[in-house]
Structure 1
């Protein structure tokens, strides 16, 4: 009898504890104008009837702050009735129809630009659609569609088309030749989000590469028109936190591609690289930002190696595609300081060092330490930031090389360099 009484008391105690568990009565969205409340609720973990958990709510808020359409988000909790509570997600929206501009020059009078327009919140559902026009001696364009939550709160789709034409240096032994290079491609990717921090992109790309020699081809250099298939995968771990212009945390993105070819001059190859990002708040107005890229590809002795040394990609001030390699190690580090902030406007200054080294086509890992392959470019820059417009960061940087055969130059663009 005594044992039965004890068991009964435990059961009653458990039921009472369960009955006192705090429950979400309703999730309410405030402050949104263009971003649909139904979309916010569909991607949120918190649901009516679920357990009230501050850690889960905080995770939802972080997810919302990563959306292009959200400049800031926070939550409030109010008692409803009994042990039930109403959760309010308060949204500060960004303007999301965004023009983009990238301009880059060097002291060799190189000049190129890219002008684009993207909507980052199409139909109020975080769908990105847009494109760009590029002038880099020749005209180029691209059209992009990306809907991370098109089919569910985990599954989406991306479709991209581009037709890029540039003048590219191709590095033969004892000679650097200039080619008119055209890459026309169609790409489809499936997007899957495992959880809040981990996601995967997987798909394919069909493209045509066309190399036409410029000038008098006295050494009978090859001209190519090659049809290729590319299988592509991207895995990302993202634990970044945003507070307006400030970023903190760690992010890692791994890219792998396998490319098939129909021409022995451009054989099948793989390429893989990992970008590691680390951001840290420094005091009230400082931000330390870092990006490390480590990459390798099939080590064919070919003048058409996949990794490039480029002004607008990895080393500010170095010039437009000045070298190529089959391996890369690049470290970008910069300190960003808010110099002035009032209402929507922010002026930010930065000091940076971009450094990198490459493995020569057909070379070995010792190439990474050769003086000819190492580039180090310190520099200074400014950022003009609009707090209420997504990625509305106009940047200007000046990089000055301090290593062998260095150049110097300005790099302009929209958005942070990384």
Structure 2
């Protein structure tokens, strides 16, 4: 009864005005468009709290909070936002399959024109030249509808596995993608669209098979669907809540070595804060694809994707189950700078190309890595997290090593 009275009372109040403080680069009319709270509409504190979470999810905003002043059932709302620095350079160094040093440079503007749009690009050299450019405008047409455009010309040396043998190929992927973006409500979003791409494979070295061509040049189409349920709450480097992200793709190729195939995977995230400094983070990925017996299987076993310390492109499969869990703890925090430590365990198992679901419980396909890491975090620059992890294998014939990157591992 008490809750009912409060709700009735809140519905009698109306929002007279919404003002923003702290928005220097971001256009305030863009922020207003994102809010579900609107001027001349009923005042609802629950919706307003959701709007603060919605603002904190934007790359441009590191924190947001509100104050209200109500008189005669008319409320003035003042929202204070703390903006991120959003023009982010990218400089990355890593090793190639042949253990040569490669580099990647680029930049991304995550609040392009102050309108919550993303524009970015990169150049990479790893023995071959690669580049990409992307544009994303989630509220281009309305508060719910947006558009994303991506183009990439990627070249790398890739190992392909067949039986107990492997060979290295020069792999090139030239793609053009367009996606529609739709936000149904505060927690549910959908992306859908099409990708036209060309794949090229050229044999470089290693053991090969008469059944595997030394050259391939294939035009493909990819239909993509991404559904996101997001109930995460952010407070600077801390995250709390649950998120699920489903990826579904259908690829048509039309050549004798690669049939049309379907692939899907789902990432489940769970974050829990402990005290003032602790944060438990978890990701479970479950994925399957068409089970063709081919060295071109889509799920990769890789340092930078799923198991820290395993190496670069160690194996491939047509199914994957991976659990990443880590405990993050803030060791030092002062003003904008944070040092965060973590301990982690990454575990995964794969279905072999052409294999059975029982492959998932075969001990030969199980990999477990554990280790420690550190993050250097700038609280006022979007995604300005430099991470170093050291992973050590706990299963037979395991490797070990360091993994460097920008942003949290997940």
TM range (shorter): over 0.9
- d(CA) in 2 for partners of 1:259 and 1:384? 39
Task: Answer with 363-372 or 390-399: which moved more.
Answer: 363-372
Distance 1:404 1:105, change over 3 A: farther
Partner of 2:48, secondary structure, is: helix
- Preserved CA contact (<8 Å) 1:256 1:271: yes
- d(CA) in 2 for partners of 1:108 and 1:227? 28
Out of 121, 125, 129, the position equivalent to 2:115 is 125
Task: Answer with 237-246 or 313-322: which moved more.
Answer: 313-322
Query: Number of residue pairs matched?
Result: 401
Taking only aligned residues, the RMSD between alpha carbons, in angstroms, comes to 1.9
Alignment partner of 1:165 is 2:155: yes
Aligned counterparts, 1:28-39, within 5 A: 28-39=19-30
Bigger Rg, structure 1 or 2: 1
Alpha-carbon deviations, 1:336-373, whole Å to 9, x = none?
Answer: 00000001100000111111111000000111122332
- d(CA) in 1 for partners of 2:122 and 2:282? 27
Q: Which runs of 5+ in 2 are unaligned?
A: 1-7
Distance 1:353 1:137, change over 3 A: farther
- Preserved CA contact (<8 Å) 1:70 1:93: yes
Alpha-carbon deviations, 1:210-268, whole Å to 9, x = none?
Answer: 11001377744402111000000000000000001000000000000000012120110
Taking CA–CA contacts closer than 8 Å with sequence separation of 6 or more, which of the two structures ends up with the larger relative contact order? 1
- d(CA) in 2 for partners of 1:20 and 1:360? 58
Q: Residue in 2 aligned with 1:8?
A: none
- d(CA) in 2 for partners of 1:62 and 1:257? 30
- How far 1:175 sits from its partner (Å)? 1.4
- Preserved CA contact (<8 Å) 1:120 1:127: yes
- d(CA) in 2 for partners of 1:216 and 1:401? 26
Q: Residue in 1 aligned with 2:4?
A: none
Out of 37, 60, 64, the position equivalent to 2:51 is 60
- d(CA) in 1 for partners of 2:326 and 2:254? 43
Q: Residue in 1 aligned with 2:356?
A: 364
Alignment partner of 1:391 is 2:383: yes
Q: Residue in 2 aligned with 1:332?
A: 324
Distance 1:56 1:225, change over 3 A: same
Partner of 2:224, secondary structure, is: strand
- d(CA) in 2 for partners of 1:314 and 1:159? 27
- d(CA) in 2 for partners of 1:19 and 1:111? 61
Q: Which runs of 5+ in 1 are unaligned?
A: 1-16
Q: TM-score, normalised by structure 1?
A: 0.92
Distance 1:356 1:20, change over 3 A: closer
- d(CA) in 1 for partners of 2:324 and 2:100? 23
Out of 69, 75, 80, the position equivalent to 1:78 is 69
- d(CA) in 2 for partners of 1:115 and 1:318? 25
Q: TM-score, normalised by structure 2?
A: 0.94
Out of 40, 43, 54, the position equivalent to 2:34 is 43
Distance 1:353 1:108, change over 3 A: farther
